[in-house]
Amino acid sequence: MEVTLLIEAMDTSFRLMEDARSQAVDLLNTAVKLTSETRDIEEKNIQAIFTGAQEAKSGFQNLVVTFLMLFAFWVLLSGKYDLFHLALGVICSLLIAYLTHDLLFANVRVGDARVIAYRFFAYIPWLLYQIITANIYVASVVLRPKQHVDPQILRFKTKLESDISWVTLANSITLTPGTITMDIRDGEFIVHALDKKVAADLNAGEMEDRIAHVFMEADHIYVQDALDVAPIFGELKRGL
Amino acid sequence: MIQKSDDIIIKTLARILVPFIQIYALYVIMHGHYSPGGGFQGGVILAASIILLMITHGLKDTQKRMSEKTVAILSSSGVLIYAGIGVVCLILAGNYLDYSKLAKLLHVAPAHARSLGILGIEIGVGLAVMAVMFSVFFDISRGEVSQEDEDE
């Protein structure tokens, strides 16, 4: 009797193991399939990034974007929405856009302009938060009876590549109290820092990383954008 | 001394700001008959934007955008627009710069004709002022360059 039970139990356990194995194989198969699909999507995205850059380099698109920005600025200034003034605005914006579209978008790098604009606006709140905390810290340093000021000059090579990202980093550093960008020479930043903590914060390089992410530079181009792993995890969860 | 600026921050920000300064200058010119501003002020702002470009990007780059010949044509055409509108008023049996006489030519009410006439004058003045301001700056800086050439 006990032997039969034992055999039955073993039988069931084997069947369960078999089921589990087949399920696991299925899962692995779907995972492989999904990975190849994701890779296709990734390749397509990378392609899109590059073609986007090529398109951005074409003068006509620059002209149109410059025109739209200038016309928006005109409407903001003018505040008169009758046909005559809007027509004047169109003519003036076209004229200026034609004359200066190569100035506003000089040195366009690889990257999707819309994504960069979106990320730039997402970067501003973070910068504001940094400015507020740095303000409080500098105020505490100044108000402390014992002075802990230890001014120093930092030099560091940046991993950023384009002039616009250098300028963004330099101005972000200057806007944050306690640090001032003195100069940029061949990609080397020369920064004056008020004390050790401020200098250490700057050396940690979070600001640089974020700006690299905003302008899709260094190693931030593909990793976070093209390869979206969420579908794989979703499929795995459903399978289990 | 007009040289290319070495400072990447100033260069980049100047390059981004120049189009907006220029559209602001045109706004000042075009709204001169409604709000403070007008041809002279707008022309000076326009010239300042080009001078900013010259200080940051050097004489040669600016000359590619706006040569001496263009400046001469613009300044004289600005004066021509101003004087031309005045003379047209004379021809239409009015005083010099009597814009209400333009009403017959433009088929609008005399008051509206005055507004349009002043706008035309503003454009002429703006062009002339911009070109002359710039050419003054241009001549000063070119003098230095030619001296440098002599030194070499």
Distance from CA of A161 to the nearest CA of B (A): 12
pLDDT value at position A201? 84
pLDDT value at position B152? 42
Distance from CA of B16 to the nearest CA of A (A): 5
DSSP label at residue B91: H
**Are residues A27 and A78 located together in one domain of the fold?**
yes
Q: Which of B16, B19, B31 sits opposite A78 (nearest CB)?
A: B31
pLDDT value at A124 more than 90: yes
- Which of B6, B15, B45 is the mutation pick for testing A, counting most A CBs within 10 A? B15
**Structural domains in chain A (count):** 2
Contact B40, B129 (CB under 8 A): yes
**Are residues A216 and A233 located together in one domain of the fold?**
no
Question: How much is the average pLDDT of A25-49?
Answer: 76
**Are residues A52 and A121 located together in one domain of the fold?**
no
**Are residues A2 and A69 located together in one domain of the fold?**
yes
Inform me whether the C-beta atom of residue A100 falls under 8 Å from chain B C-beta atoms.
Answer: yes
Contact B30, B73 (CB under 8 A): no
Q: Which domain, by its residues, includes A135?
A: 113-220
Cα A233 to Cα A20, A237, B120: the distances in Å are 19, 6, 67
Question: How much is the average pLDDT of A143-147?
Answer: 83
**Are residues A121 and A38 located together in one domain of the fold?**
no
* pLDDT, tens digit (0-9, with 9 covering 90-100), for B112-140: 888 888 889 999 999 999 999 999 988 88
Question: How much is the average pLDDT of A191-199?
Answer: 89
Give A46 or B113, the one with higher predicted confidence.
B113
pLDDT value at position A202? 85
Pairing of strands A152-157, A179-185: unpaired
**Are residues A33 and A5 located together in one domain of the fold?**
yes
**Are residues A94 and A155 located together in one domain of the fold?**
no
Cβ neighbours for B142, distance < 8 A, ≥ 6 positions apart? B59
A70/B23 CB distance under 8 A: yes
- Comparing CA positions, the residue from A165, A177, A166, A167 lying closest to residue A202 is A177
Q: What is the ipTM of this complex?
A: 0.84
- Find how far residue A208's CA is from the centre of its chain: 11
The three-state secondary structure class of B30 is: helix
Confidence of residue A48 (pLDDT cuts 50, 70, 90): low
**Are residues A189 and A100 located together in one domain of the fold?**
no
Give A59 or A128, the one with higher predicted confidence.
A128
pLDDT value at B67 more than 80: yes
A92/B20 CB distance under 8 A: no
pLDDT value at position B141? 81
Cα B17 to Cα A88, A217, B52: the distances in Å are 21, 24, 10
Distance from CA of A70 to the nearest CA of B (A): 7
Confidence of residue A161 (pLDDT cuts 50, 70, 90): confident
A124-138 burial: b if 16+ Cβ within 10 Å, else e: eeebeebeeebeebb
- Give, in degrees to the nearest 5, the angle at Cα A213 between A207 and A217: 110
What is the C-alpha separation between B125 and B82, in angstroms, rounded? 7
**Are residues A90 and A168 located together in one domain of the fold?**
no
pLDDT value at position B129? 94
A77/B16 CB distance under 8 A: no
Neighbours of A41 (CB within 10 A): 14
Q: Which of A73, A97, A104 sits opposite B16 (nearest CB)?
A: A104
Distance from CA of B3 to the nearest CA of A (A): 17
pLDDT value at position A227? 44
Question: How much is the average pLDDT of B78-92?
Answer: 91
CB–CB contacts below 8 A, A to B: 63
Distance from CA of B109 to the nearest CA of A (A): 16
pLDDT value at position A171? 93
**Are residues A107 and A2 located together in one domain of the fold?**
yes
A163/B24 CB distance under 8 A: no
What is the C-alpha separation between B121 and B97, in angstroms, rounded? 9
Q: Which of A96, A164, A166 sits opposite B22 (nearest CB)?
A: A96
Q: Provide the mean pLDDT of chain A.
A: 81
pLDDT value at position A226? 43
3-state secondary structure chain A: CHHHHHHHHHHHHHHHHHHHHHHHHHHHHHHHHHHHHHHHHHHHHHHHHHHHHHHHHCHHHHHHHHHHHHHHHHHHHHCCCCHHHHHHHHHHHHHHHHHHHHHHCCCCCCCCHHHHHHHHHHHHHHHHHHHHHHHHHHHHHHHCCCCCCCCEEEEEECCCCCHHHHHHHHHHHHHCCCEEEEEEECCEEEEEECCHHHHHHHHHCHHHHHHHHHCCCHHHCCHHHHCCCHHHHHHHHHHC
Inform me whether the C-beta atom of residue A97 falls under 8 Å from chain B C-beta atoms.
Answer: yes
Neighbours of B118 (CB within 10 A): 17
pLDDT value at A228 more than 80: no
What is the C-alpha separation between B78 and B34, in angstroms, rounded? 21
A184/B9 CB distance under 8 A: yes
Inform me whether the C-beta atom of residue A74 falls under 8 Å from chain B C-beta atoms.
Answer: yes
Q: Which of A66, A96, A184 sits opposite B26 (nearest CB)?
A: A96
Q: With contacts defined as CB-CB under 8 Å, which chain B residues touch A66?
A: 19
**Are residues A71 and A120 located together in one domain of the fold?**
no
- Which of A77, A94, A188 is the mutation pick for testing B, counting most B CBs within 10 A? A77
Inform me whether the C-beta atom of residue A66 falls under 8 Å from chain B C-beta atoms.
Answer: yes
* pLDDT, tens digit (0-9, with 9 covering 90-100), for B6-60: 788 888 899 899 999 999 999 999 988 788 888 899 999 999 999 999 888 888 8
Tokens of A79: 């505040």
Give B5 or B49, the one with higher predicted confidence.
B49
What is the C-alpha separation between A132 and A159, in angstroms, rounded? 26
What is the C-alpha separation between B25 and B48, in angstroms, rounded? 10
Task: Return the percent helix, strand and coil in chain B, to nearest 5.
Answer: 80, 0, 20
Neighbours of B73 (CB within 10 A): 13
**Are residues A53 and A105 located together in one domain of the fold?**
yes
